[in-house]
Amino acid sequence: MWEKFEKWYKEYKETEKSLSDPEVINDRVAYQRAVKRLSSLKEKAAVYEEYLAIKSTLDSLKDVERDPDMLELVKEERERLKRKLEELTKRGEDILLSDISDADKDVIIEIRAGTGGLEATLFVADLYRMYSRYAEKMGWKLEVLDSNPSDVGGYKEIIFSVSGNRVYYYLRYESGVHRVQRVPVTETGGRIHTSAASVVVLTEPEDVDVQIDPKELKIDVYRSSGPGGQSVNTTDSAVRITHLPTGIVVTCQDERSQLKNKEKAMRVLKARLLDMKKRQQEAELASYRKNSIGTGDRSEKIRTYNFPDHRVTDHRINFTTYRLEEVLEGDLDEIIDALLKAEKEELKRA
């Protein structure tokens, strides 16, 4: 185990040193990437430094124990350090279990209305607000890439990016079908309806992760429109990109600039292509690391938000909290911590 921490420690020191390199300092993207990586390695480096300190002290006790008068004190100190090393080893094991692929990557989240008509579009807006508040709480940056508003103030679809420290690590569980049970604003009889929205969390790839041949793209431009076909732009600024080999289609119309819409659409396309590539690899290996808590199937019902009972239930781990209002205001810590704990327990049993 400690060999892995030694590699992390060396990488931490090398990354720390790179922050004083003029080439890195003058390259905004490289500098931000280095700062982000340094932050993700900080705890691992601290654990390894503590490990080295304990081992060094244990070794030095061999010289002291030759003195008969110090024998009892040395014995007590050795036992104390061994207990400390056992605690540190357990902490290191937890860190290893938490070390998932792409943990440090930013994400693109797509939320789409499902069953429930207009009520489902309002639920999409609720989920977007929930993730926005959670991102704000975590100190992350959120940027809307594309949206399709509904006539009642919700969204038929909204796509946005979230960037910051260990974003994917915390948000990777959110893919799947989210259900809401409540009395819709359009319901006059006071009956409780069930509506749904699908959430997809994609890792945002680096340029080296996905290579796209421009010849494989069909790019169309058209005039942006708002709810009900109402024009929001008098120029052909909206962009539709079709990736011909896969048939993936991405549109973006949120910006008034055609260039900005194209850039955002390309980000979404790359994320979807990377996701497709990962899923093909996982299918070939016939294993999906997080299937133990059901984060692999996007058609799976993962969570229900029940307004009459003020209840939120995550069906993958049978976890329930009666803090519905707080959860929808972005207080997701309790749910995410429970999912993290469940995954670690499952991996320990594996």
Looking at the structure, tell me whether residues 152 and 293 fall in a common domain.
yes
Distance CA 193, CA 304 (A): 12
Last residue of a domain, one of 229, 250, 284: 284
Q: Name the band, by pLDDT with cuts 50, 70 and 90, for residue 231.
A: very low
Are residue 294 and residue 149 in the same domain, yes or no? yes
Q: Are residues 185 and 120 in the same domain?
A: yes
Asked if residue 242 and residue 114 are part of one domain, the reply reads: no
Residues 193, 326, single domain; the answer is yes
Q: How confident is the model at residue 230 (pLDDT cuts 50, 70, 90)?
A: very low
Per-residue pLDDT, 93: 83
Domain end among 63, 98, 133 = 98
- Report d(CA 288, CA 6) in Å as an integer: 28
- List the CATH number of the domain containing 296: 3.30.70.1660
Report how far residue 213's alpha carbon sits from residue 217's, in angstroms, rounded to the nearest whole number. Answer: 7
Domain boundary among 251, 284, 317: 284
**Same domain for 24 and 83?**
yes
How high is the pLDDT of residue 261?
93
Residue 234 has pLDDT above 60, yes or no: no
pLDDT 10s digits, 333-347: 999 999 998 988 877
Domains of the chain: total: 3
Closest CA to 24 of 35, 13, 11: 35
Confidence of residue 330 (pLDDT cuts 50, 70, 90): very high
Indicate whether 243 and 309 sit together in one domain: no
Top-ranked range on mean pLDDT: pick from 131-145, 178-192, 243-257? 131-145
pTM: 0.73
Task: Give the pLDDT of residue 291.
Answer: 45
pLDDT tens sequence across 82-132 = 999 999 998 888 888 777 778 888 999 999 999 998 999 999 999 999 999
Do residues 190 and 315 both lie within one domain? yes
Percent of the chain with pLDDT over 70: 88
Contacts of 347 (CB under 8 A, 6+ apart): 97, 292
Least confident among 29-38, 90-99, 138-147, 248-257? 90-99
- For residue 110, the tally of other CB atoms under 10 A from its CB is 20
3-state DSSP assignment of residue 163: strand
For residue 171, what are the contacts with CB-CB under 8 A and spacing of at least 6?
A: 107, 109, 131, 162, 201
Same-domain pairing of 299 and 196: yes
Residue 232 has, within 13 A of its CA and on its CB side, a CA count of 15
CA gap 303, 318 in Å, rounded: 10
Are residue 201 and residue 227 in the same domain, yes or no?
A: no
Q: Are residues 202 and 299 in the same domain?
A: yes
Continuous H helices in the chain: 2-18, 22-25, 28-64, 71-98, 118-138, 167-171, 258-285, 324-328, 333-349
Angstrom CA distances, 55 to 48, 49, 51, 74, stand at 11, 10, 6, 14
Domain range for 298: 107-208+289-349
Q: Give pLDDT, residue 288.
A: 41
Q: What is the pLDDT of residue 102?
A: 81
What is the overall mean pLDDT for the chain?
A: 87
Of 347, 343, 349, the C-alpha closest to 294 is 343
Amino acid at position 146, single letter? D
How is 260-303 classified by DSSP, letter by letter?
HHHHHHHHHHHHHHHHHHHHHHHHHHT--TTGGGT-S-TTSEEE
